[in-house]
Chains A and B, each alone.
Chain A
């Protein structure tokens, strides 16, 4: 399963897109498919300070509640307000319109704790 170019990944199936010191975060196509129909996403508040791999929200399918572990730390700049009215965006376009939030990266070195697309592909192939 090819991942979109230019992203980093966590073992918890979140993706990160870095643009300077701003990181956009979402969950992978593999994650949305595993969860099934997503009906609710609870995101951190704008201004909240996140710690890498901290439990910062939940994504809920019809059947289950799953924690979101942020792949990078930093202050939340923006959240995807469209998910409130249409959480299924995460199913339809997980790497695009289904993004979760943006943070101002606290520590560029945290990138070293994330996976490349190839490493993530390997992880889900073994799952």
Chain B
């Protein structure tokens, strides 16, 4: 994307020591895998996995006008959020396409906004350009660390190191507390389809937390997990990935995120375009599909119906939690996006049969 030198998170040395395979991602040198993507995926579904997500941009928002300001730039409600609540949201352009999908965390005296790593530069410039009234932005990207622990056993693994009791912390809420003696935010959020927590803490405290969580939970089967496993986990859970299911051209409605678009809000960027799109209901949309065979359907492959292209694959993987099947999302013509429709996926010139299914591919029991 650009020639800027790659940055490293506070946990880079820890990743190297664990034998991680490092790749460039979102401007950082990040672990794509340690032991292996499938083993890491299994750890998260069965026990717990530990992720370094410090490459994601953390932006602090302060000021009396933050809520009303953010409400005009995004599709979901911001002002209705209560302190310690977290909420998924999407910044939209005038045509209703997505600048980025984000999480807002409301704290008593400020807000924390988590932006995708790949959009960090774009979003920081956009937010600064949009500032008006009493809104102050602080870019903590690369300074603050984010460590996520995800999986059914994450609460018992993390709780001993958190001063507050996190057992009763509700999904999509957070608490300001000490973690390993360092002030941090602990949120019950994640991107894997499992129970889990995300810990926002100073970069200098990240390695201490990372090491102790791995050391103390090794017998319980925790695994350090890379971006490869994270992508499989989120795809199975039906969660969009910016650049794939959401782009500047793909709107939240097309991505199946109608639930996040609050037309009751008086004004927001792209509202008119999204209202027209919703009323018309005739637009290409993201659908799930399962192939008959095991060949992976990769992003960019054509989807065919009766020999004609009706869309393209946006994400695809083998899904261990869906019987090892080859699953994918595709952006499809509306007539071909209904559940049960038989389509073909063109893989290296050969058509492989697939069926449209409802998302997600996996839901925790």
Residues on A lying within 8 angstroms of B by beta carbon are: 36-37, 39-40, 42, 58, 60-63, 65, 84, 87
For chain B, the bracket of interface size reads: 10 to 19
Residues on B lying within 8 angstroms of A by beta carbon are: 21, 32-33, 36-39, 228, 232, 294-296, 298, 317-318, 326, 348
Is the beta-carbon distance between B294 and A62 smaller than 8 angstroms?
no
Is the beta-carbon distance between B37 and A63 smaller than 8 angstroms?
yes
Which residues of chain A are within 8 angstroms of B36 by Cβ–Cβ distance?
Answer: 36-37
Is the beta-carbon distance between A40 and B294 smaller than 8 angstroms?
yes
Closest to B227 in A: A63
Q: Given A40-B294, A40-B295, A65-B296, list of 17 further CB < 8 A pairs?
A: A36-B228, A37-B36, A39-B294, A42-B295, A42-B348, A58-B348, A60-B296, A62-B37, A62-B38, A62-B228, A62-B296, A62-B317, A62-B318, A63-B32, A63-B37, A63-B228, A84-B294
Could you show 23 A-B contacts with beta carbons less than 8 Å apart? A36-B33, A36-B36, A37-B37, A37-B38, A39-B318, A40-B295, A42-B295, A42-B348, A58-B348, A60-B295, A61-B37, A62-B37, A62-B228, A62-B232, A62-B296, A62-B317, A62-B318, A63-B32, A63-B37, A63-B228, A65-B296, A65-B298, A84-B294
Is the beta-carbon distance between B295 and A36 smaller than 8 angstroms?
no
**Cα separation A36 to B39 with both chains bound (whole Å):** 11
Closest chain-A Cβ to B23's Cβ sits at a distance in Å of 9
**Cα separation A122 to B21 with both chains bound (whole Å):** 22
**Cα separation A58 to B362 with both chains bound (whole Å):** 28
Closest chain-A Cβ to B148's Cβ sits at a distance in Å of 20
**Cα separation A14 to B296 with both chains bound (whole Å):** 22
Which residues of chain B are within 8 angstroms of A37 by Cβ–Cβ distance?
Answer: 36-39
Which residues of chain B are within 8 angstroms of A87 by Cβ–Cβ distance?
Answer: 294
Which residues of chain B are within 8 angstroms of A36 by Cβ–Cβ distance?
Answer: 21, 33, 36-37, 228
